[in-house]
A = this chain, B = another copy of it.
Amino acid sequence: MDLCDKCGNPQIIIKRKQSGQMLCQECFIKAIQEKVLKDIRRQKLVTKGDKVLVALSGGKDSVMVLDILNNLRERRIIDLVAVTIDEGICGYREDGVDIAAQNTELLGVKHRIVSFKDYLGRTLDEIMADSGDRNACTYCGVFRRWILNQVAREEGATKIATGHNLDDETQSIMMNYMEGNIQNLTRIGVKSESSCEGFTVKIKPLREIPERETALYVMARDLPVHLAGCPYAGDSFRAKIRDFLQEINQEHPTIMYSTLRGFDKIKPVLKKEFSRQNKLGVCRECGEPAAAELCKACSFRKQWKKE
């Protein structure tokens, strides 16, 4: 009979293919929490006194980040604030916002809900109704980062934590290898590094946790999560890579780790050689950090004004 490798409990909830380890619910929760907290320490993702803004969509990954970082808040190592961005996606985002609110209430963490409508004057639905040419994810990603960075400053946050897991990160690495996009590769990592003022460092505490374990964690912890998929999701290149990685992971259960480890060895070398001396400037419209005269968000917004 299968028994928990830690405590001998016969009710195991996971057999880790990558290591053969079997764990019961309680030991799995503990093992995951310890692993993430250890990664945070080892990679110096936070320092005492940090105010961490959690980008909380209500999905399993961001709910898990909030739950684990709350441990550091309870121990008064960091302060926390959660922000949910309401993109204005009718029939989808409302539930995510509710669930995010349940989670913050449960933990007693301050929660802000900010909307595309308030910051941009348009919901994502309105943006997409007007523009057939571009992928929703392109707009949405640019605007979410733009808003998040502003809210971080408004809140006096010193870090922004996102829920990117091992699968997400490996997909990004593979996409950029395959597209030959070396510039993007130099920016992938557990911690965004920017010397630019006005730019809040982003951290990914779940970067080493496989997606199936983030799903299992929120179930095991019985946390409310928003499971619906975004109706605009249609990034087929990423979806293809995700499917491939998941499939190959069946027979090669350490493949995402080896991809990540290989990349982490390559990255500093690429950075040294290829990263432009990109002293980010400041957008002349909004004052946010920008690679060009206008930041991406303002260059999209300018197009609307012309219409």
Interface residues of A (CB under 8 A from B): 174, 176-182, 236-237, 240-241, 244, 247-248, 251-252, 255, 258-263, 265-266, 269-270, 273-274
Contact = CB atoms under 8 A, between A and B. Distances in A.
A158 B273 CA distance: 34
B179 A266 contact: no
A178 B259 contact: yes
Contacts of A260: 180
Given A180-B261, A182-B265, 5 more contacts: A177-B259, A178-B259, A180-B259, A269-B273, A269-B274
B237 A252 contact: yes
A251 B239 CA distance: 13
A240 B236 contact: no
Given A269-B269, A269-B270, A269-B273, A182 B262 contact: yes
Contacts of A259: 177-178, 180
23 contacts: A174-B178, A177-B259, A177-B262, A178-B258, A178-B259, A178-B262, A179-B262, A180-B259, A180-B261, A180-B262, A182-B266, A236-B251, A237-B248, A237-B252, A240-B244, A240-B247, A240-B251, A244-B248, A266-B266, A266-B270, A269-B270, A269-B273, A269-B274
A244 B241 CA distance: 9
Contacts of A270: 266, 269
A273 to B, nearest CB: 5
A248 B240 CA distance: 7
Given A237-B252, A252-B237, A180 B265 contact: yes
